[in-house]
Amino acid sequence: MNLRGCLYVLAAAFMWGLIGLISTFIFAEGVGPLETAFWRAVFGWVFFLAHAARKRQVRVSPRDAMPLLLFGLVCISVFYGAYQVAISEAGVALAAVLLYTAPAWVALLSWLVLREQLTPLKLACVFMTIAGVSLISLGPQLFGDGGGIRLDAFGLAAGLVSGFTYALYYIFGKKYLSRYATPTIFVYAMPVGALTLLPFVQFSHKTPTAWLLLVVLAAVTSYGAFSAYYAGLKRLEATRAAVLATFEPLVAAVLAYIFFAERFGVWGYAGSALIIGAVFLVVGGGLRGGSTQSPDRTVTDQIGGEET
């Protein structure tokens, strides 16, 4: 296994794991979840635009305009918005775990949209994910011991929507976007996502600290993380990269415990273990069979093959 590739992917997972921490500090500055998502998309677009202009990777074919619009509409606006709401409503650690229901969504969507075979291993992943979410959401109410996590239906729904839209990165990449490099995709998708969020944003007065945190959120968790991840994918099989990327919810959970004293109860830990176990099951099957791919594999390997 390529050590440099591993380090790139681990760096990306660590940066993604910072989303909840940085976002929570932004919320404390009086900026709401949807406004946070909006500025993350706007500032992320600036970074990707500068990169694409420098690499001369700005042009796209007119026939790809609609897929790019849909990609921005769903995979930027809905995903960014839902994940920020999940962090706000469910907490940093739980939002990260619910995000990793994505492989189960990928298995179902690949069967429905791409006509890929729904193998017993993929079905096991789906059922493990459903069981994990059920334990997290219903276990504390039915059996007690919820730990420090309080989960309502809205927070759970937002977390599941973030996982579903995260999975759509794979579907869009597989079905439509096979000709462009990473910066090119986000140059067109991010402004669409930001504009879609705009009608729902209630803008607040922002301190210099809030502005700095918003720029850092975009630079680190959008531009930096995606760039590092796809640099790693050039050196690793996508399935191996997906295993390493599960470092993200661990980072988020540790940081949430250190900074905010968030902890799961026994049912939360059991449900989280099932969800993360489902990720390893699907990815492990891909390592053996060579067919399973990461939901993040939208660009470089999956979308373009060009260096970011």
DSSP notation for 140-191: HHHH---BT----HHHHHHHHHHHHHHHHHHHHHHHT--S--HHHHHHHHHH
Look up residue 91 and give its DSSP letter.
Answer: -
Whether 214 contacts 33, CB under 8 Å = no
Q: How do the domains of the chain map onto residue ranges? A: 3-289
Tell me which of 85 and 173 has the higher pLDDT. Answer: 85
β-bridge mates for residue 147, sequence order: 264
Instruction: Residue 28: count other Cβ atoms within 10 Å of its Cβ.
Output: 11
Q: Percent of the chain having pLDDT more than 90?
A: 36
**pLDDT > 70? residue 307:** no
156: closest CA among 138, 143, 183? 138
Stretch 249-276: mean pLDDT: 84
Predicted confidence at residue 238, as pLDDT, reads: 57
Predicted confidence at residue 44, as pLDDT, reads: 97
**pLDDT > 70? residue 252:** yes
The CA distance from 169 to 76, in Å, is 10
Predicted confidence at residue 62, as pLDDT, reads: 87
**pLDDT > 70? residue 182:** yes
Residue 239 pLDDT level (bands cut at 50, 70, 90)? low
Instruction: Count CA within 13 A, CB hemisphere, residue 88.
Output: 19
Q: List pLDDT tens digits, range 132-154.
A: 888 776 665 555 555 555 667 89
**pLDDT > 80? residue 169:** no
Residue 211 pLDDT level (bands cut at 50, 70, 90)? very high
Whether 251 contacts 9, CB under 8 Å = no
